[in-house]
Each structure stands twice: as C-alpha cells, then as structure tokens.
Structure 1
Amino acid sequence: MHNQIHCLNYSPYIMASSSSSPLRFSVKRREPQLIVPSKPTPHEIKQLSDIDDQQGLRFHFPFVMFYRSHPSLKREDPVKVIKEALGKALVFYYPFAGRIIEGPRSKLLVDCTGEGILFVEADADVTIDQLGDSIHPPFSYIEEFLHDVPGSSGILGCPLLLIQVTRLACGGFIFAIRLNHTMSDSLGLSKFLNTVGELALGASTPSLLPVWEREILNARNPPRVTCVHHEYEQLTHTETSIVMSLQEHEKNIAHRSFFFGPSELKSIRTHIPPHLQKCSNFEVLASFLWRSRTIALQLDPKEVVRLSVIVNVRGKQGLKVPSGYYGNAFAYPTAISKAGLLCQSPLGYALELVTRLKTQMNEEYIKSVADLLVLKGRPHYTTVWSFLIADVTRVGLGDFDFGWGNSVYGGPIGARPCTSFHVSGFKNSYGEEGILVPILLPLPIMNRFQQELLSNGIQYPRKIAPKL
C-alpha cells in the first residue's frame, strides 16, 4: 500500500456558493504520512465482532469538523498539536494503528502491527467566513479537505483511519476523518476523538479507557435466529432498486439537505392522531420522510418498502456493553409496508410502524442478528426499496476540543445511497434551532420528494447556518 501513496501538492478548486459568484480557492497538501503510536504497543491479532464484519459495514465513512481560530492560540499550529495527540491516543487505541486481515470463512481480524494511521497536512487560501453557508451537509467539496489518497480506501491491508487537517487563511482549520466502518461506529469513533482532544489539552491518560471485548457482540454457540429480521431478507427482485437507480443516474443525482425546525415539526404533527403526539421528534420525522420518499418513488402499490432505524444497543435491556466499548454496537430494526398502503394511509400508519421498532431492541434481538450474520455468511442488509435513517444528534461529533473549543459543525458530510441522518447544530434565519436531514436521490425523484414536502409546509431551500 505504501508504494501506492502519491503526493498531490496543489489542487485548485472552484465551488459555486450560495451567492451569485463562485468561491475560488486552492488547497496545498503535503506528502501523506503514517502516524504511529508514540510508545510501543502489543503486536497481536484481534477478532472483530460478528456485528462489525457484516458486508454492509465494509466501507469507509467520512466526517468533517470546522474550527474557528482562537485568539489566545495564534502561535499554536493545529497540525502539530493534533499529530502529537494522535500518536499518544494510538497507544491506548492501538488496534487503529493496525490493518484488517481476513481469516477463515471471511472472518475479519485486526492485525495490530503498529503501522499507523494515514495523515495529510494541508493549507487552503480560504477563510471559514468565506465558506459561510456551505458549512453543512451536503459538503460538496469534501474531496479537497479529505483527499482520497490512492491505495488507501480498501478494507483489507489499508490504514483504518485517514485524517486531513487543513489550515485556513483565517487561522481556523478543518479536521476531516475517514473511518473503516468495520472497526467502529460513530459513537466508537467519538470515544477515540475525545481521547485525542483530552491528550491535546495536556491529559496523560483518557478519562474513559477503551475496551475491546468484541466477543460481547458475537454469535451464540450454536447460533440460532430467534427474531424476525426484515433488514436482512435477501430478495429476488426484477425491478430496479433505488441503489441501482443511483448508480445508473450518477450524473443526475441531487444531494440536498432539508431543515426541520419548530414550525416544520408542528406542521407535520398536525397530521398525526392525538394518541401518537407523545412520539419523539425523531420518530415523527423518520415516519414523515419515509412516507414522502415512497410517494416520490412512484412505485407499484404492491411493492414492499422498508424503513430501517439505526438503533444503538449500548445500555439496552440485558446487554452489558462497557462504556469504553468502541466497536459497532447497533442494529437496523426494520418496518415494512406495501408502498400503496404507506402512501395512501395517514401519517399515523407509518408512525405506528416506526414506534414498534423501539420495543424490538434488546439483548435477544442483537444476539439474533449476530447469529443470522454467521449462519448466512454475513449478508448485506437489504437495499431494495429500503430507507435507512440514523439519529446522530447525540453522538457529540461537534464536541471534540483539540485546544480551539468546539467545532462550528461536526458530523457526516452528507447522505449515502438509501441512508440519511438527523444532524443537529443548525438554525434558520429566525434563530430557531432545528434538525438538518441530507437526502440523496436521482433528480426527478428528488423534485417529486421536494414537492411532497412543500405540500406539507416544508420549504427548500432555507437559509440555515451553524448555531455557534
């Protein structure tokens, strides 16, 4: 892999901003380097859990954080501070400095070689204020601030983390990171980055020590599937799924974010019956988006559609997942419906399906998932007419302090095919805080989706900004 790394020294970039004139800037990057643990670490092989190594998690997941300059730290170099803290953090999280290898029956393992994580140092002649309204998902010029180093994006034998720190002309910086998802979920990554922040601020050890113990989420012996898992049904399907549509219409894809503040949520809640008014905003919004998206797809009424809600299993009934556990600890409980019934029924129908998902998540359910994955060869979750949604508002992706305070925005760069996120930290032009939801769809479907939202009082585009 090392021989495949090349330096991209200069990269001009032009991005159309929200104003009439395009924003022009350039990014200069130095040669990528490997950051290794600052002290010797164990050389051993560790197994990933049976939740970690499923096919649906074998990809790299990017996040980005924007930091303003700090008046009292003008002489400090964020690149130097963060690099040193990363080396110290890898002493505690040393599996991140290793490489994924494949064992018998496609079982993934971490070879703790200490080779290190990949780091790119960069400078951009643009300020955080010039980036302005673009600091929210979808962050369309992420390629400039998280360079895909050639040869670095494989699952096997590649660095497990890629980080680029880009100094900005205003003294602020952008911290972008790409995670091999088989190693951790967003909560697991946040534990690592919290440790980096603590060590950057002078701590000698993390306030929360990392815990491996991946066997907690392994299949039972013998494995036995005891729950219904619509999320892993392997379908023989003659129609084109939404993922196929995205691939076929790659040049005609729309990636937009929709803002849901107090007025938007109030408008949506007028469509649900009194006995469901106690449902959370996440449940209400997930149901509304699923129904609106299905209407926009214009499917045969007999087609079966799915909504998978990504649910964290930490702290769930019967599960003893340690607080320092940084592996993947979630499942995708899934609601299903005929498309025609979902579209023609009131919103309360979809909401009742979604609220039932919470009751499914317990120790038996996640163990049944692990058993199914082992018995069926770690299948990919179902993507045919599926919509996955995750609430990342409580993950704390904007709360990492490397010495410059919290970020202006921290979180996913946008939606993925079939997958969206509820992202917090934004306000509208009235100063009202709300949730931002990025959506990725082929343009004709996106236009119908947007029209459906408009008929329910959801405006696009809306003037939004980070709340900090």
Structure 2
Amino acid sequence: MAASFKVTRISEGAVKPAAATPEDTLPLAWVDRYPTHRGLVESMHIFRSGAEAAPGVIRDALAKALVFFYPLAGRIVEPEAGSPAIRCTADGVYFAEATADCNLEDVRFLERPLLLPKEDLVPYPGDDRWGVEPHNTIMMMQITKFTCGGFVMGLRFNHASADGMGAAQFINAVGDMARGLPEPRVKPVWDREKFPNPNIKPGPLPELPVLALDYIVLDFPTGYIDGLKAQYKAHSGKFCSGFDVLTAKLWQCRTRALNLEPGATVKLCFFASVRHLLKLDRGYYGNSIFPVKMSAPSEKVLGSSLMEVVDMIRQAKDRMAVEFFQFAKEETEQDPFQMTFNYESIYVSDWSKLGFAEVDYGFGPPMFAGPLVNNDFIASVVILKAPLPLDGTRMLASCVTREHSEEFVRGMKEDLP
C-alpha cells in the first residue's frame, strides 16, 4: 500500500545563517560528548494547514534563527580522539522541500504503521548532495507538502548538540522568526562549561540484542490520568505527575505480561533534566540530562499496588539529585550513563513537555509532534502529547514481543473508560 503514494523532492541544499556569525570552535560538555549521543534523532511534525507558504517561510526563518543559534550551522569535529567539538563554519543545515501526491487522510495522518516510508519524510541525502557524515551533521530538515494543504516537517537533529528540550527551543525560535519576531523569545546560551566535567570515562558500548518487538500505540485521556493522580494524592498526601502514574502502570503491566521466572530482576530507566540542579540559564540548549534508574525483583513490582510502584519511581527521582552530584564531584568511578539492554529492562522517554507541540510558524501548532523510532534492540516507550483533536497522552511502545503483546495491551487498557 505504501508504494501507491509518491513523495518527490523538488529542492534541497544548505540554509546558512542570514547574517555573519562568529568563527569559533566550541568545546562540548561531558554529556554532549557521550558516544551514544553522537547521532541524528529523527522526528515528525504534522501540520493541518500552511503547505504552500511553509517551505519558504520556514527556510527564511531558519536562516534568521541560525544567526542566534550559530553553532548549529557548523559541523562536529574531533580535534583529538574522544573530544568532539563544534566548529562554527556557518556552512548551514540541510533543507529539502518535497511534495506528496496524496492528502494526509489518505495516509491516515501518518499513524503507525506508516503508509509512506519514513525515508520519504525525513531527509537522507546521498554523499553527492550532502558531503558531511551523519555523525558530524548537526541538523537536517525536510518540508513535505500534501494535497490537502497540510505539511509534515521531518527533522534529524544531532543529540551531541542539544537534548530534546534544547532542540525544541531552537525549533520554537524558528517559529518566532517565522511569525515576524525580531529575535527568539528565549535567547540561546552556550555555557557548556557549566555542566560537570568529571574525569569519568564512558563505559564500553553495550551489546544490543535482537528482540523483534511489536509496535503498540496507546492513548490515555486527561481525565483518566487526573484520576490516577488523585488516587496517589489520597495514598500518599503528595502530588505526582502524569508521567509518574503512566510509567508505573507501564512497568507493572509489562512485568506481568513477561511472566518471568521467580527471582528475575526487572529494570526501568528514564532521563531527567538537571537544569534546576545546575541553575542553568533558561536559554541553555545543550544536553542537561541524567539517568534515573530503578531495579527490583519482578515479584515486588507485581506484588505492590500501582500507587506503591509510583512511590518507587518518585523515590528514584529523589535519589537522582544525590547521584548526580556524586557524579559531578567524582565521588563515583562508575559511568552512570552506561546502560544494559536486555528484555528485562525498559527505557522510557518523555516528549510531552519538551515544547515541540507548541511550535507555531504562523499556521498554528502541529496536530502531532514526536519521534520516529521503531527498533528491535531496545525495549522502549515514548510518552508524548496525544495528536489533535485527542485530549491526553499517547504512548508509543516498542517494549514487548508478539507473544507478550496481547497480555500487555489488556493490562494497559483494563481500567480505561
């Protein structure tokens, strides 16, 4: 079915800053330099209207935003092994314009499974068209116009240059420029030296299993999430987030679906911002994250109430600050970012509050903004804002194999309205 629709790229090339910018080589922070961060994260941003004007408006706004975020128009270099930096060359970011011979409804608004190959929606230029290696490229963007007047922005952003919140800060700045503002509402700040630089060597890259994971989409209405948060308030007298209750439910339902041997250990990991711990400027857009890790016997996760699992998650969040400062002060020799990828471990990524859902180029916010991920070696879940007109939160889950997916989905949906 995917082959019945065609996407044609009609222009491509570099978008450079609209004015002269400094020629520096800027060192990256310890966390920016982490080996697994040096790669392009792919995402898709779907807009219902604005297709005809969008390519020109966004191209011009991109050039203006790059004057303020000039390091992003450069290249990643490695003057000495293990110490990548950004060379501010003003060579620009890759930008392509494309057209699809269908409307968004024809391809189900790009719900999974995709009815268009993702390679048609995010840019993969050949070496003859973009001579920079992907791990040294900072950003690529493609605007694809659909016959209904909607468009999709496909984005590839190098994690070494910014975390999710930083990437969203830049994309919002492009929106500010597109709407005619003279400068971004949040001015960028480099300040990479403010992130700790401990003498801790990153651990070896993990072995990646092949897990053949199912891809599952789950939606949770705001009222349902608020009900769980109210239950936790009654249980503990404290507040919790929607992320806390949904992640607790996820961990418990997945552990039950896996039906592990007695004594098996299950692990949960997600990354939390440390901007508040470091008192970073609001405009800081580099990586400022630290892992929150939990490990427990499967019997404990299953034998606890859902609210008790929320307690476990909140306790791990509280420990994170202590663990982060131990890392910062070199009070540990272990690399806290080193991960274990096996079927008993699950990784959760929260995109719901990064800021991508609020981007406005003058055509209104996107109906959907989220990552393009679907791999068979990391059991993972992405939590993000549900696509309009839905109200609530969406989970994109690649965390169970076919034999466990029915029980997992049953558990996740059993008390939904």
Change in Cα spacing, 1:389 to 1:138, as seen in structure 2 (3 Å) is farther
Contact kept, 8 Å, 2:99 with 2:145, in 1: the verdict is yes
Q: Which amino acid aligns with 1:304?
A: T
| Alpha-carbon shift at residue 139 of structure 1 (Å) | 5.1
Q: Is the 8 A contact 1:261 1:434 kept in 2?
A: yes
The 5-angstrom pairing of residues 310-349 of structure 1 reads: 310-316=271-277, 319-349=278-308
Alpha-carbon distance in 1 for matches of 2:87, 2:328: 22
Cα distance in structure 2, aligned partners of 1:264 and 1:372:
43
Q: Distance in 2 between matches of 1:368 and 1:295?
A: 34
Deviations 1:163-220 (A, max 9, x none): 1101111222111101111111111011111111111122232222110111111325
Q: What aligned pairs does 1:447-458 form with structure 2 within 5 A after superposition?
A: 447-454=406-413, 456-458=414-416
Residues 303-330 of structure 1: CA distance to partner in whole angstroms, max 9, x if unpaired?
Answer: 32221232122224xx221001001111
Q: CA deviation at 1:31?
A: 5.1
Give 1:96's match in structure 2, choosing from 50, 72, 82: 72
**1:344 to partner: Cα distance:** 3.6
Residue in 1 aligned with 2:384? 423
Determine whether 1:281 maps to 2:261. Answer: no
* TM-score under structure 2 length normalisation: 0.86
Amino acid at match of 1:315: H
**1:182 equivalenced with 2:147 (yes/no):** no
- The equivalent of 1:462 in structure 2 is none
Judge which range, 170-179 or 144-153, deviates more. 144-153
The equivalent of 1:435 in structure 2 is: 393
The one-letter code of the counterpart of 1:62 is: E
Which residue of structure 2 aligns with residue 58 of structure 1?
38
Instruction: Tell me if structure 2 keeps the 8 A contact 1:392–1:423.
Output: yes
Question: In the alignment, does 2:104 pair up with 1:125?
Answer: no
- SS of equivalent to 1:336: strand
Distance (whole Å) between structure 1 residues aligned to residue 165 and residue 115 of structure 2: 24
Partner amino acid, structure 2, of 1:128? L
Task: Output the amino acid matched with 1:288.
Answer: K
Distance in structure 2 (CA, Å) of the matches to 1:375 and 1:103: 26
Paired residues, what number? 408
Q: 5 Å matches for 1:224-235?
A: none
- Equivalent AA in structure 2 for residue 178 of structure 1: R
Find the aligned partners of 2:4 and 2:58 in 1 and give their Cα distance.
27
TM-score normalised per structure 1: 0.77
SS at match of 2:105: helix
Residue aligning to 1:197: 175
Q: Of 210, 225, 242, which residue of structure 2 is paired with 1:245? A: 210
Alignment of 1:20-35 (within 5 A): 24-30=4-10, 32-35=12-15
Give the aligned partner of residue 192 of structure 2: 214
Superposition pairs of residues 124-203 of structure 1, within 5 angstroms: 124-132=100-108, 134-136=109-111, 141=116, 142-150=118-126, 154=133, 156-157=135-136, 159-203=137-181
What residue is the counterpart of 1:466 in the other structure? none
Aligned residue type for 2:338 = H
Instruction: Give the alignment partner of residue 389 of structure 1, picking from 348, 358, 367.
Output: 348
User: Aligned AA for 2:261?
Assistant: D
Q: CA deviation at 1:401?
A: 1.4
How far apart are the structure 2 equivalents of 1:414 and 1:426? 17
The separation in 2 between residues aligned to 1:349 and 1:453, in whole angstroms, is: 17
Distance 1:145 1:112 in 2: 28
**Once the 2 structures are TM-superposed, how far is the Cα of residue 295 of structure 1 from its aligned partner?**
2.2
**CA distance 1:379–1:108, change in 2 (3 Å):** farther
For the 8 Å contact 2:291–2:337, the answer to whether it is kept is no
CA distance in 2 between partners of 1:377 and 1:343 (Å): 30
Q: Choose 78-87 or 101-110, whichever is displaced more.
A: 101-110
Identity over aligned residues, as a percent? 26
Relative to structure 1, the CA distance from residue 211 to residue 271 in structure 2 (aligned partners, 3 Å threshold; closer, same or farther) is closer
One-letter code aligned to 2:347:
L
Q: Per the alignment, do residues 296 and 104 of structure 1 end up closer, same or farther by CA in structure 2, a change over 3 Å counting?
A: farther
The answer to whether the 8 Å contact 1:56/1:379 transfers is no
Determine whether 1:254 maps to 2:219.
no
- Residue of structure 2 equivalent to 1:309: 270
Aligned position for 1:351: 310
2:257 and 2:205 mapped to 1: Cα distance? 22
1:121-157 Cα shifts (integer Å, max 9, x gaps): 100112233334x445675643221132345795543
TM-superposed deviation, 1:272: 7.0
SS across alignment from 1:302: coil
2:324 — aligned with what? 366
Unaligned runs of 5+ residues in structure 2 are: none
C-alpha change, 1:377 and 1:140, in structure 2 (3 Å) is farther
Q: Return 5+ residue gaps in structure 1 as ranges.
A: 1-13, 16-22, 226-231, 460-468
RMSD: 3.3
> Secondary structure of 1:118's match?
strand
Q: Distance in 1 between matches of 2:33 and 2:209?
A: 24
Q: Tell me the residue number matched to 2:365.
A: 406
One-letter amino acid matched to 1:81 = V
